[in-house]
Amino acid sequence: MKTIIRRTAASLAAGVIAAGALAGCGNGGGSQTTGGAAASTAANSSSTTKAGESKASSGSRPTVTFSTIDFNAGASNTGDNAEKTLDAIKDYTNTDVQIQWIPTDTLDEKNSLAMQSPDTMPMIMTWNGAVTGNIVTWAKQGAFVDLSSYLSDSSKYPNLSKQNAQVAKSLSVNGKQFGIYRARVIGRYGLSYRKDWAEKLGLSEPKSIDDVEAMLKAFTEDDPDGDGQNDTVGMEMTSYTGPFDIMQTWFGCGNGWTEKDGKLIPVWQQDEYFTALDWFKKIYDAGYMPSDWATRQTDSWSDGCKKGQNGVYIDVLDGATRITDYFQKNDVKSVTNPDETASMNLIGTINGKTMATSGYNGYFTLSAKTCNTPEKVEAALHFLDKMCDEDMMVLTNYGLEGINYHMEDGNIVQDDLADKALSANHNGLNQLVPYIPYTEPQNKTLKKTPQKKLETEVVKANSEVAIMNPALPYLNSSATYSSNGGQLDKDISAARTQYICGEIDKDGLNAAIQSAMDKGYAKIIDEVNEAYKADTSK
């Protein structure tokens, strides 16, 4: 097994291309699979067919095999109502979908093995995270269906055709789109802070970097919790350095890369980058973030705010909402009003700027071997498109109406929160949804708390100004980045941490950057700009 896994991406891709003609559509094998036999009781569906309602058909449904991630330790789509839930999906999409569930920690291994047996690969395969070098190699070798000519058809694919063009480029190689992204909101990042701490100290919402620094200082030095102890530190921070990436944009840095004088450059070639790092070092030296942040485990992220140790949280805004939910669940009282629970206020931008997400997390590819006819490609795309309909998003997120939830005043009220066995019927099925063009249902929604409403408003405003990474569509075209760009990014990030903590000086930081340039980043910049210019000159 290990010997097979160690084969290079190129040799795997060669196997994909060299394989013989398709004998049939396999399910990939080796993991829990659901679906299949129900195809004999085919049903017809249209956009008016509601989840849970079967509609008879005189024809047969196309079969679509689909491998996806099991985040639920074998409990995805299980239990008494599992078959009913899956049948509702089959009826609505008019597709006999056969699901192969793969545990998240074995996904890369299973997908690599599947790539070696192209004739039996699932028609749709799920990949986690961002695009890797292996994927780029396989895409260049033709292992995946080129979706470019399909997804512009709004009559066949009314949802998928509304994909974000910038995000879709991130799943393209040499102008060919090889994957469909699983959408995430673009304006998700921002700053949040303990609202009651700020009220107690007479602080208003921060608008500028100076305002943020003043808040961090006050939350550290002015006893915001009123216990008379020197036991608070302004900003939450662990070894996860995402907050620095967000805060850099406040200073005018790009998001990973930026465009300057018609050329794409990494942010560490901007003057603003060093200005930002000097400020991070300043607040670290002043004690406004935990002194041991660089060695704190990432899985403790947000614990400081939950425990009343920190007052400022810079990350995804829904993370701050979960902190407020924690306060309410554990009855953490406001320091200004003991009749109320504490809460986090949400700020999207500082200096009018914040960082955008990549717009996706994970993606789907269609196998060129098992989707070897236009009809099979269209069947797979039809299924993915229908899964973006409101009825399917509600079903996969909340389950069956009358079993998992009921409606009150136009809002979804969940009935199965305390019954994990009951909720298992729809667990994991949201992994089949691309979430294009919307990341949540637009009409049938959960009744939102005031905190969730605030989050929605801030995220929407952020999406108008959040700074995207302009190089994402072109990094896939850089062979050097595919081979070692990820490690070089880690090296530069590590040097940033060392500089902030005082382990190296400015000369040491510059030396680390120059080392990355010498080891391949200079070539990466050239390759990215070659692809960028070719694209912009069309």
According to DSSP, the residues that pair with 191 across neighbouring strands are 314, 347
Place of tokens 């003057």: 271
> Token digits for 498?
């060392």
Half-sphere exposure of 478 toward its Cβ, with a 13 Å CA cutoff?
A: 26
Q: Which of these, 218, 202, 221, 220, lies nearest to 210 by C-alpha position?
A: 218
Handedness of CA 89, 90, 91, 94 (dihedral sign): positive
Residue-level pLDDT at 28: 37
pLDDT given for residue 5 in this prediction: 30
Bridge partners for 467 per DSSP: 355
Dihedral over alpha carbons 99, 102, 104, 105 (to 10 degrees): -170
Residue with tokens 């236009």: 374
Q: What is the pTM of this model?
A: 0.78
Q: What sign does the dihedral 133-134-140-143 (CA atoms) show?
A: negative
User: C-alpha distances in angstroms, 50 versus 78, 160, 169, 268, 414?
Assistant: 21, 20, 34, 52, 19
- Bond before 103 cis per omega within 30 degrees: no
146: alpha, beta or left, given left = phi > 0 and alpha = psi -120 to 50?
beta
User: Which of 182, 175, 165 minimizes the C-alpha distance to 131?
Assistant: 182
Q: What burial letters (b/e) apply to 338-355, b meaning 16+ CB within 10 Å?
A: eeebbbbbbbbbbeebbb
Half-sphere exposure of residue 295: CA atoms within 13 angstroms, side-chain side:
3
Residue with structure tokens 């890797």? 132
- Which parts of the chain have pLDDT scores under 50? 1-30, 36-58
pLDDT of residue 105: 87
Residue 246's H or E segment, with its range, is helix 242-250
Q: How many CB atoms lie within 10 A of CB 135?
A: 24
* CA distance to 163, 191, 345, per residue, from 313 (Å): 31, 6, 10
Three-point CA angle 331, 337, 339, nearest 5°? 50
